[in-house]
Chains A and B, each alone.
Chain A
Amino acid sequence: MTDNASLDRGMTRGLVVFRALTLGWAWVGLVLERSHLTRPALAIAALSAAGIWTFVVTGAGFSGRDDRTRLRLAIVEVALAGALLAGEPLVYTAERSQSLAWAWPAAGIIAMAITAGPVWATGSALSLSLASVAGESWLRSELQWTTASASKSALLILAAVAAARVAGLLREAGREISTARAREEVGRVLHDGVLQTLAVIQRRSDDPELRRLARDQEQELRTYLFEAPRSPEALPVHLRLAIAAVSRRYGVEIIAVLADDLPPGSPAMVDALAGAMTEALNNAAKHAQAGHISVYAEPIDEGSGVYCSIRDDGIGFEAGAQVAGRGIMDSIERRMAEIGGVATVTSRPGHGTEVQLWTIPTS
């Protein structure tokens, strides 16, 4: 919120400068074109009104107001600009080469764009174009739709669309920044408090169920805080989610160590690796009677592939023996082969089992 307020303040301040500069030039124009003036006093009064208005909106703290007040201010400004455009015949003859208000009306359109968005701003630009054409026609006593007035209308509409777009983008960026900041802040607080507490619970509790719960929560929280926002599709997130799912399903503790430079991975690769890993973990959790299950993943071959190890310290099995879960091994090998990878299983009775996965052929 505060970021958007400061962004709005920035845009409004820019607009104040724009108003002052255009008004300054309008005064210069008035002096240069004074020979074409029919009612100099009225012209001076009109430009003074615009000047006073500039002071009013500057002093009113445009940005500090609520949306409705700001919209009212913008409407008044557009109306004032319309009056200046349409009322031109009252002060000038047709021979003048600069209009009374010059580019000052654009300020109202930009204010409208910042306050109320592209539709209102474009509407205002169209109204001001009509006012301008009406003024010109009145001055020359015939309907004037010249190239000059058309290009002026185009400019006003362009200003409306561009200003609304820029304001929208700036606000969006502001929102993203404040979301990121908020997340960082939440992350810091959770990191300092909740993660520490979860770690203590895991250490001090004698209840395996509670320990598991704390570990799961810690994993999930960490995935959310440190990985998900960066790249929701990234490989590490999917691997962590797969690990957490097995851990929950079988109530086993899985120690996951994932290298911090894992590549994001293609969808096919992520699918194959997370799927193969889940099957290997399921197998270890179901059949191995393991005390520890650990997962390790690192990039290989300059990050073009990933190596992954799923290891348990359970009962293991004799090479070539028909064991429960043999079919799972076939399925793991198939999954890896589909993406051109390799899977191996190493086991000895009493020495646990290790499933190793490579997403690219090993040399």
Chain B
Amino acid sequence: MDDTDKLRAPGSEPIRVVIADDHPIWISGVRADLGADFLVVGEAADAAAAIAAIDEHAPDLVLCDLQMPEGGGLRVATERGATTNIVVLTVSEAERDVLAAVAAGAVGYLTKSTPSRELRDALRRAAKGEPVFSASLAALVLSEFRRLKRSDGPQGGLTEREREVLSHVARGRSYREIGEELFISAKTVENHTRNILAKLRLTKKQELMRYALDHGIE
């Protein structure tokens, strides 16, 4: 992930960020962490305020707590995920709501204990719309597809290669390391993660539709 440090050419525009979290202490902490590459243009303490801030500032990136009043990160991802790069942050790594948020359109999810440098690297990539596939997200997606397989849910499981990539991410490897291991480029690894996210979104959508049909909801 070190290679992403090169991405910012001297004098380039900072990444414009909106931070949404109902804990002021966290906002001030992450502000200090982001450093000069990022410019915090807006802050919000709930989902509605976050959406308003996104509409007002059109940021490059939104950092959004999963658990906030008025719908939390899930609502922000659902309503603005299609047009904005949203990264969901949580304090614990095993919250299933995260999957819904990512499926709804967030580009990724990180735990709040992610070390500063890794956080900055991940956010730089997220600002360009690249999926932020942390080890915890990989583990959640893997278990989600296991669950779908068991429950005979929507079709469209992962390919063996995709599963392999995810398993490496879950075990804590970077895209570059995974590429070396599998004899493919880091770019190809990233493409796999994009495809995996697309599949996750599709299966979630199918699941919702199936649920709606089963329950007679129009």
Binding site for B on A (CB under 8 A): 191-192, 195-197, 199-200, 202-204, 215, 218, 222, 226, 255, 257-261, 292, 294, 296, 298-299, 302, 309, 311, 354
Is B135 within 8 A of A255, CB to CB? yes
Give Cα A222 to B94, complex, Å.
11
- Count chain B CB atoms within 10 A of each CB in A192, A203, A204, A259 and give the residue with the most: A203
User: B159 contacts the other chain (Cβ, under 8 Å)?
Assistant: no
Please tell me if the beta carbons of B32 and A204 are within 8 angstroms of each other in the complex: yes
Decide: B172 and A260 in contact? CB cutoff 8 A.
no
Partner of A260, one of B67, B96, B116, B135: B96
Contacts A/B (CB < 8 Å), 30 sampled:
A191-B91, A191-B92, A192-B23, A197-B25, A199-B26, A199-B91, A199-B113, A200-B25, A200-B29, A202-B113, A203-B29, A203-B113, A204-B33, A215-B113, A218-B91, A226-B94, A255-B135, A257-B138, A258-B94, A259-B143, A260-B139, A261-B147, A294-B172, A296-B135, A296-B170, A296-B171, A298-B139, A298-B146, A302-B150, A354-B171
Given A196-B25, A261-B147, A299-B146, A292-B91 contact (CB < 8 Å) = no
Determine the chain A residues whose CB is within 8 A of the CB of B23 once the complex forms. 192, 196
Contact between A296 and B26, CB atoms less than 8 A apart: no
Q: Does B203 contact A (CB under 8 A)?
A: no
B143 x A260 contact (CB < 8 A): yes
- Known contacts A191-B67, A200-B112; 6 additional CB pairs below 8 A are A204-B29, A222-B92, A257-B93, A260-B139, A261-B143, A298-B142
Q: Which residues of the partner chain A approach B147 to less than 8 Å between Cβ atoms?
A: 261
Does B30 sit at the interface, judged by CB under 8 A? yes
Distance in angstroms from A196 CB to nearest chain B CB is 5
In the assembled complex, B140 has its CB within 8 A of some CB on chain A: yes
Q: Which residue of B lies closest to A299 (CB)?
A: B146
- Interchain CB contact under 8 A, A260 and B113: no
Q: Which residues of the other chain, A, contact B93 by a CB distance below 8 angstroms?
A: 257
In the bound complex, CA of A307 to CA of B94 (Å): 18
Contacts of A354 in B (CB 8 A): 171
Please name the 3 residue pairs, one residue from A and one from B, whose CB atoms are nearest each other, closest first.
Answer: A294-B172, A199-B112, A200-B29
Q: Which residues of A contact B193 (CB under 8 A)?
A: none
Q: How far is the CA of A202 from the CA of B33 in the complex (A)?
A: 11
Contacting residues, chain A, for B96 (C-beta < 8 A): 260
Interfacial chain A residues near B139, Cβ < 8 Å = 257-260, 296, 298
- Closest residue of A by beta carbon distance from B30: A203
Give the chain B neighbours of A294 by CB distance below 8 A. 135, 171-172
Question: Does B85 interact with chain A (Cβ within 8 Å)?
Answer: no
Chain A residue at minimum C-beta to C-beta distance from B23: A196
Most buried by A among B138, B139, B147: B139
User: CB within 8 Å of A: which of B104-160?
Assistant: 112-113, 115-116, 119, 135-136, 138-140, 142-143, 146-147, 150
Q: Give chain A residues whose Cβ lies under 8 Å from the Cβ of B140.
A: 260
> Which of under 10, 10 to 19, 20 to 34, or 35 or more describes the interface residues of B?
20 to 34
Q: How far apart are A165's CB and chain B's nearest CB, in angstroms? A: 40
Question: Of B112, B136, B143, B146, which one neighbours A196 at CB under 8 angstroms?
Answer: B112
Most buried by A among B23, B167, B172, B173: B172
Q: Are A195 and B171 closer than 8 Å at their CB atoms?
A: no
* Interface residues in chain B, defined as those with a beta carbon under 8 Å from any beta carbon in chain A: 23, 25-26, 29-30, 32-33, 67, 91-94, 96, 112-113, 115-116, 119, 135-136, 138-140, 142-143, 146-147, 150, 167, 170-173
Measured between alpha carbons, how far is A297 from B34 in the docked complex, in Å?
31
A215 CB contacts on chain B under 8 angstroms:
113
Residues on A with beta carbons closer than 8 Å to the beta carbon of B94: 226, 258, 260
How far apart are the CA atoms of A58 and B173 in the complex, in Å?
A: 70
With A191-B91, A259-B139: A311-B146 Cβ-Cβ less than 8 Å? no
Q: Which residues of A contact B143 (CB under 8 A)?
A: 259-261, 298
Chain B hits for A292, CB < 8 A: 172
Contacts of A191 in B (CB 8 A): 67, 91-92
Pairwise interchain contact A203-B142, C-beta atoms closer than 8 A: no
Which residues of B have CB within 8 Å of A200? 25-26, 29, 112
Q: What CA separation (Å) do A261 and B147 show in the bound complex?
A: 9
Contacts A200-B29, A202-B113, A296-B171 hold; do A195 and B92 have CB atoms under 8 A apart? yes
Could you say which residues of chain A place their CB within 8 Å of the CB of B30?
Answer: 203
The distance from the CB of B23 to the nearest CB of chain A, in whole angstroms, is 5
Complex Cα spacing A259 to B30, Å: 27
Given A203-B116, A226-B92, A296-B172 contact (CB < 8 Å): yes
Task: Report A80 CB to chain B, min CB distance, Å.
Answer: 57
- Contact A203/B172 with A298-B142, A299-B146 known, Cβ cut-off 8 Å: no
Residue contact A261 to B92, C-beta cutoff 8 Å = no
Q: Given A260-B140, A261-B143, A302-B150, do A309 and B113 touch, yes or no (CB 8 Å)? A: no
Give the complex CA separation of A204 and B31 in angstroms.
10
